[in-house]
Amino acid sequence: MRAPARFAACALLAAAVLSAAAAPARAQDDGPRAVRLETLDVSDNLYLLRGGGKNILALVGFEGVVLIDTLGPGWGPATRAALDNLTALPVTTIINTHAHDGEIPANHEFPAVTDVLAHENTRARMARMAAFGGANARFLPNRTFSDTLALLDGIDRIELHHFGPAHTDGDAFVVFPEKGIAYLGDLFAATAVPQVDPGAGGSGRGYPDVLAAALDEISYFPEFVRGPEVRTFDRVVPGRQEPPDQTPLLDWLTWADLERYTAFARDFVAAVEQAHAAGRSLDDASAAVAALADAYPDYALDAAGSAAEMIFSELDDDAGR
């Protein structure tokens, strides 16, 4: 049984798109921060929070809120203000899907946090960040994993998976098997060229295989087979793409979109590799990539040049070894 309070919160959300203004901005801030809060399903306790161009998730549990990623440094108060529309319970658990210089988790802005989960490589990277120095070291992940990790039970069960370097070397796929929802953070930021941070151990060449492994391995969970039906995932929440103007947020990206993103990543990397193997220039590779616009007219290709350059340098590094 769910607590009635949860449903009350959901109904409230279904009525309007809520936004919560942050506390007065500090001098160095760009201005007031506002977080958009959306329910993903009126009968459920999982919500999307959007701010600063990012999408994160919040699971309102009985004992506290589980945040899947944070909106970044300075966004804690606005995130809390948005959560206040749902619950007075504190954020007790944070899952960090990855970390790099441009993506510093704001765990320390949620002082009641007791459990922080991340891939072991992400923890190692966070441990070197100034944001987690001194007293803030207690906000480093205290539960890490290399391949998979599960938390919570029943309808709230969350599974974390890692399939190798892609956006960084510590990316986590976050799956809610019973809700049919997967959250990929920057692994699937948008229907656009995948972004790789080589300084954080990411790999452009490995990206398609990582996505393919995810499609292969997390589309089926024997323990959640219901009757004769094989459970498949329906919905995929991207890390940055702007959600449609819709409440609740039901019709958005799906597992089929993740399959298409995987095919796009495969075609993208193949086009760059072929240009490199033929001894052609980076400009030629960029031209080959631009040709993908015919097959993927809805994909943003503006970051294609820099992504192609990165794959070129990965190929050069491999050749030099």
**Is the backbone of residue 31 left (phi > 0), alpha (psi -120 to 50) or beta?**
left
Q: Which of residues 195-234 bind Zn ion (CB under 5 A)?
A: none
Binding window for Zn ion (CB under 5 A); candidates: 16-24, 184-192, 274-282, 296-304: 184-192
Residue placing its CB nearer to Zn ion in the complex, 161 or 179: 161
| Bridge pairing between strands 181-185 and 235-238 | parallel
Compose the 73-112 pattern: x for residues touching Zn ion by CB under 5 A, - for all others.
------------------------------x---------
Listing DSSP states for 149-188 in one string gives EEES-GGG-EEEE--S-SSSSS--EEEETTTTEEEEEGGG
Q: Name the residue whose CB lies closest to Zn ion.
A: 186
| Bridge pairing between strands 54-60 and 46-51 | antiparallel
Residue 307 tokens, joined = 């992504």
Evaluate whether 294 touches 271 at the Cβ level (below 8 Å): no
We find the least distance from the C-beta atom of residue 111 to Zn ion, in angstroms, to be 24
Residue placing its CB nearer to Zn ion in the complex, 177 or 185: 185
We find the least distance from the C-beta atom of residue 238 to Zn ion, in angstroms, to be 12
Residue placing its CB nearer to Zn ion in the complex, 186 or 314: 186
Residue placing its CB nearer to Zn ion in the complex, 103 or 109: 103
We find the least distance from the C-beta atom of residue 201 to Zn ion, in angstroms, to be 12
186 binds Zn ion (CB under 5 A): yes
Q: Which of residues 56-75 bind Zn ion (CB under 5 A)?
A: none
> Which residue's structure tokens are 């966070």?
126
Residue placing its CB nearer to Zn ion in the complex, 60 or 187: 187
Residue 24's Cα: distance from chain center in Å? 28
Q: Report helix angle 207-217 to 255-277, nearest 10.
A: 150
We find the least distance from the C-beta atom of residue 146 to Zn ion, in angstroms, to be 20
Q: How far is CA 293 from CA 34, 78, 133, 264, in A?
A: 34, 38, 45, 10
Compose the 9-38 pattern: x for residues touching Zn ion by CB under 5 A, - for all others.
------------------------------
Residue placing its CB nearer to Zn ion in the complex, 211 or 288: 211
We find the least distance from the C-beta atom of residue 227 to Zn ion, in angstroms, to be 39
We find the least distance from the C-beta atom of residue 302 to Zn ion, in angstroms, to be 17
We find the least distance from the C-beta atom of residue 254 to Zn ion, in angstroms, to be 23
Radius of gyration of the CA atoms of the chain, in A: 20
We find the least distance from the C-beta atom of residue 194 to Zn ion, in angstroms, to be 11
Q: How far is CA 272 from CA 90, 168, 263, 307, in A?
A: 47, 20, 14, 9
Evaluate whether 175 touches 152 at the Cβ level (below 8 Å): no
Binding window for Zn ion (CB under 5 A); candidates: 10-18, 26-34, 180-188, 204-212: 180-188
Compose the 124-163 pattern: x for residues touching Zn ion by CB under 5 A, - for all others.
----------------------------------------
- Residues contacting 311, CB < 8 A, separation 6+: 204, 205, 269, 272, 273, 276
User: Which residues in this chain contact Zn ion in the complex, by CB under 5 A?
Assistant: 103, 186
